[in-house]
Structure 1
Amino acid sequence: MRKWTEADIPDQRGRIAVVTGANTGLGFETARALAEHGATVVLACRNPDKAADAAHRITQHVPSASIETAKLDLASLTSVRAAAETIRGRYDRIDLLINNAGVTGRSGTTEDGFEIQFGINHLGHFALTGLLLDRITASPAARIVTVSSIGHRFGRIDPGDPAAAIGNAYGKSKLANLLFTYELDRRLANTRATAVAAHPGGASTEVFRYSPAAFRLPNSAIARLFGRSPAMGALPTLRAATDPNATGSEYYGPAGLFEIQGYPTRVKSTSRSHDRQRQTRLWEVSEKLTGVCYPE
């Protein structure tokens, strides 16, 4: 099997990409690679100073890079709306939306009272995507890429109450990412946009920074053992975003054993992620909770 690398990314000149959580880890490497290939990249981050530093690091590496920043706190629907307005004010179209930002192991609730991992990883991105949707569908060939995780296999969502805090909170949020992607892609059927998902495998990033040491340290050790740098972990996202042969509702991850390491390829998600009842019900509840209603 041929190995897909950053060298396979087509020319991105003239394309506009928004990457959430782009100041570090997978998001930073995704933004850097897109900028290297000519895209105008918006770093949508919670901390403006860290976003500015990331933009500086990218332009040092790629002097010709076109980088913008936007303040986005996915734990606040007020911030999500403000970020969407900022981005909408700058661009009449968006070619790539990379829903990358995420958190695990963090306890508590968002500003709006949602369990924090479900709120940030799913609801925040659900709202942002809906608020930018007219700009996305204005592109002649847009893609929305949402980053899930191997952890989605441990997620459970009650169709009767998708927001209920049950089981593994992180796994639930990552399962929600896939349910959202597959339902969104169906709803985009009459547009020129598609929705795709990806996961990084065992990449060493800051996603576990809020986790207890007993959870964080073994995961970091596994990532180092298999050599999964953030740059390698970003490859499935980059392939989902730029491979001309990628199509809607596909899921990309590492090709190796247990999808922990290896170069990106199409992978399969659990049967729960393809459950139409869960997809539809999660969508309905997400619209209600966020107040963001997608056009028919």
Structure 2
Amino acid sequence: MTSTTAATRWTEDDVPDQDGRVAVVTGANSGLGWETARVLAAHGACVVLAVRDLDKGRQAMAAITDQVPGAQLGLQRLDLASLESVRAAAAELRDAHPRIDLLINNAGVMYTPRQKTQDGFDLQFGVNHLGHFALTGLLLEAMLPLPDSRVVTVSSLGHRIRADIHFDDPQWDRTYNRVAAYGQAKLANLMFTYELQRRLASHGTGTGTGTGTTIAAAAHPGGAATELMRNLPGPIRATAGLLVPLFTQTAAMGALPTLRAATDPAVTGGQYYGPTGMGGVRGYPRVVASSEKSHDRAVQQRLWTLSEQLTKVTFPV
């Protein structure tokens, strides 16, 4: 694979050949996940669409095949709001795919009204973080022996907005604010990535690039116009007609940071990719900075311990 670090406009054409690689993309039936799956399939990967709704998943597969004839695609039911479903999906994925080169933790919910998962977690924290934490832990053993395997978790600019890890009430049982709950979940995505990378490096697998190592990286799409926008707070939604063209980009553009984190051979563990434009809402992908709070190691480790306790999933690193 050829390095593309010098590219000022990294596009899907810069994705290296993915022939022989297996990628699992959560939430791949629409939006960012669908675009990510499409591009990976177009470059030769066998892509498993891990989705909650199998009918929508089949429609997504058909749409990809229309654009990528001969695409190697698979379908896996996965409901991140249910740890039972996550465990079942992980077991089925391990049986069907002895090797998994890429795990793209893309699925998510945003600014939802107060809801709980099947296990009693706040919906945003449960789906965006805990479900992906559990899935990664259950699949990681299938990834560790493989050259250049990667876990890429999709965060958001929202990790900076009213974001903190509320250890005293992580499930928002006492009070609920949809924006702050989303901020907590997206901050957790980054903290999970950074702590996972540190554990991979200590394990001896995450210390290099393209040399048989497993690494963890993160990405954010900027202001991608996707179905997540449907739960925007009222005042923002009321002006969306004016704001969307100025502060959003297409799902195809929004997927580029994820694709770069997943495939660029120059990526190193613990990097965070996002759009290059002003405010990080639009543009081509490059390494970007996350909030100072996201790098607090003590909080990362405390979150990891809490996540293990809540999901009852431990990692092989």
Question: One-letter code of the match for 1:173?
Answer: A
Query: 1:191-210 deviations in whole A, cap 9, x for unaligned?
Result: 22000000000110011223
Please, what TM-score do these two structures have when normalized by structure 1?
0.96
Aligned counterpart for 2:226 among listed residues 184, 200, 205: 205
- Change in 2 beyond 3 A, CA 1:185/1:217: farther
Query: 1:158-199 deviations in whole A, cap 9, x for unaligned?
Result: 4x5472537600011000000000000011111220000000
**2:248–2:281 Cα contact (<8 Å) kept:** no
Quote the Cα distance in structure 2 between the aligned partners of 1:75 and 1:212: 22
Aligned counterpart for 1:51 among listed residues 50, 57, 69: 57
Query: 1:56-112 deviations in whole A, cap 9, x for unaligned?
Result: 110111111000000000000011011111111111111100000010121210000
Quote the Cα distance in structure 2 between the aligned partners of 1:36 and 1:146: 21
Q: CA RMSD in A?
A: 1.6
**1:188–1:194 Cα contact (<8 Å) kept:** yes
Matches within 5 A, 1:1-296: 2-106=8-112, 107-154=114-161, 155-158=163-166, 160-161=167-168, 163-165=170-172, 168-189=180-201, 190-191=204-205, 192-216=213-237, 218=239, 221-226=242-247, 228-296=249-317
Q: How many residues align?
A: 295
Secondary structure of 1:137's aligned partner = coil
- Change in 2 beyond 3 A, CA 1:286/1:221: farther
Q: Give the gaps of 5 or more residues in structure 1.
A: none
Quote the Cα distance in structure 2 between the aligned partners of 1:40 and 1:274: 34
Secondary structure of 2:8's aligned partner = coil
**Percent identical:** 58
**1:202–1:222 Cα contact (<8 Å) kept:** no
Q: Give the gaps of 5 or more residues in structure 2.
A: 1-6, 206-212
Question: One-letter code of the match for 1:59?
Answer: T
**1:94–1:142 Cα contact (<8 Å) kept:** yes
Q: CA deviation at 1:2?
A: 1.4
Q: CA deviation at 1:239?
A: 0.5
